[in-house]
Amino acid sequence: MNQPLAERLRPKSLDQYIGQSHLVGPGAVLRRMIESGNITSLILWGPPGVGKTTLAKIIANTLERPFYTLSAISAGVKDVREVIDKAQRQGFFNQRNPILFIDEIHRFSKAQQDSLLGAVEQGIVTLIGATTENPSFEVISPLLSRCQVYVLKSLEKDDLLKLLDQALKHDTDLKKKKIVVKENEAILRFSGGDARKLLNILEIVVHALDHDDEIIITNDKVIAQLQQNPAMYDKNGEMHYDIISAFIKSIRGSDPDAAVYWLARMLEGGEDILFIARRLVILATEDIGLANPNALLLAQSTFNAVHQVGMPESRIILSECTIYLATSPKSNSAYAAINDAIQLVKETGNLPVPLHLRNAPTKLMKELGYAREYKYAHSYEGNFIDQQFLPDAIKNKRIYTPQNNQQEQKILERLKLWWKNRFSF
C-alpha cells in the first residue's frame, strides 16, 4: 500500500524542513539548541500541518535518541508508564535518554500529565508535546514549568510554493508524471497555511486527472475536485479550523440557524466540547462585549457546565449559549480598545506616570510630590472629579469608542456627563 504524499515527503533533517525559520533557521533558537546536542523538554504549539511531528522526529534523528510516540487520543496512564519503564531500562545500558513525543498533549487528562512529571523531572525522558491549543490553559503548571514553549506558525505563501515545487520534482511518484501547475491560487487558498492539507489536495487532483497525458492544474480543477471529495482532503481533521471559523463568523453575523448548524457539525465530528465552550467565552468578549455584558457571564457558565456535565447533555447547553450569543447585540469596542492601547504603548514606550497618580509609601516620595495633587473621586459629587489619568504626552488621546447599541449609548451618555467635550463626536 502506497504511503500518502505527505508521509513520503516528510523531511529527515533541518535542511530539508520548510517553514518556521524563526525557530529553525540559521542562528535561530531551536536550531542552536539542536546543534548543541542539548535539548530540553519542550511544547510545540501551532495549528495542524505546520510540522510539529516532523520537527520532533528530526530532533530525535539529529541527536540519535530513541524516539517514542504516544497519541493523547488513544494512550492512557498505563501506556505512559510502559514507555517510561522502557526508557529507564535503556538508561541502565548508558544509552542517551529517549525522546517521548506526545501528539495532542492538550487532550491528556491531569492524571496522565501527572504520570509524566517524575520522568521529565529526573531526565528519564525528554518530552516533546505537540498541541493546537494554548498550553497555558491545557497543560498542568508543574509540567509546563519544566518545558520550553515554542510557537509554530501557519506556512507562508513562499513556503507552500517551495513545498509544492519539491513535491513535483522529488516525489518518487509525481516526478514520473508530466504535471503543470498553471494556476496555484486555489490550492494555496484551500491549504490555509497547512502543509499536509496542500499535499493532500495535490494528491487528490493529480489522481483525478491521471488519465491525461499532461496533468494541468488550474483553480477550477482544484475547486471541482474538492467539491467532489470533501472528506478526502480533510481526512486528518484539518477542517477543524474551517468549521470553527464558520461557527464564530455565523455568531458574529447574528445568524442563529447557521451557528447551530456549524455547532452540530463540530459535535458530530467529535470535536472537544471544551474547545467549543472556550471559543464561546472568547466570542462573548470579542464580538458582543459591552453591548451585552451578560453574554460573558452566560458563556463562562456554559464552560463550567459543559466541564461538569459532559456529553450528550452538553449539546443542549452549547446550543442555548450559541443561540443567545448569535441573537445578542454586537460590539467589538473592548477588543478594539485594548488593541489600540497595546499599539499606543508600542509606539510611545514607557511614558512616565503623572506625579499625582504615583504611589507614595515613603516620606521622601511624598516630599517629591508623589500623589500630592491626586483627587479622590469619592470625595466629590457623583463620585467623579475631572483630572488627568494618562501620561502627559498622550493626555488627550482617545482609545475607547462606544458603539451604536443601546447599552453603550448609555455608557456614552455617562462619559459625556463626566468628561464633557472629550467624548463628543
Q: What is the CATH number of the domain that holds 171?
A: 1.10.8
What would the pLDDT profile of 78-113 be if each residue is shown by its tens digit?
888 888 888 887 765 556 788 999 988 888 888 888
Q: Residue 225: which domain range? A: 157-234
User: CA 120, 121, 123, 128 torsion: positive or negative?
Assistant: positive
Tell which of 217, 234, 251 closes a domain.
234
How many domains does the structure of the chain reveal? Answer: 4
Same domain, 90 and 181: no
Residues 209, 214, 220, 222: what is their CA dihedral angle, to the nearest 10 degrees?
A: 50
Same domain, 49 and 77: yes
Question: Which residues make Cβ contacts (< 8 Å) with residue 35, sequence separation at least 6?
Answer: none
Q: Among 119, 151, 183, where does a domain finish?
A: 151
Q: Which of 396, 395, 391 is nearest to 353 (CA)?
A: 391
Residue 336 located in a structural domain: no
Does residue 115 form part of some domain? yes
Instruction: Based on the fold, state whether residues 67 and 147 are members of the same structural domain.
Output: yes
**Same-domain pairing of 305 and 248:** yes
pLDDT digits 0-9 by tens, 34-49:
988 888 999 999 888 8
235: confidence class by pLDDT, cuts 50, 70, 90: very low
- Identify whether residues 311 and 249 lie together within a single domain: yes
Q: Give the CATH number for residue 89.
A: 3.40.50.300
CA neighbor of 197 nearest in space, from 345, 48, 301, 76 = 48
pLDDT tier for residue 232 given thresholds of 50, 70 and 90: very low
∠ Cα 348 351 356 (to 5°): 145
The C-alpha cell that represents 161 in the structure block: 510554493
Strand bridging mode 126-131 / 42-45: parallel
Tell which of 132, 151, 170 closes a domain.
151
404 located within any domain:
yes
Cα→Cα distances 172→8, 77, 176, 264, 390, Å: 8, 40, 7, 41, 64
- Examine residue 291 and state whether it is found in any structural domain, yes or no: yes
Q: By percentage, how much of the chain surpasses pLDDT 70?
A: 92
Is residue 93 assigned to a domain?
A: yes
Q: Which pTM does this prediction carry?
A: 0.61
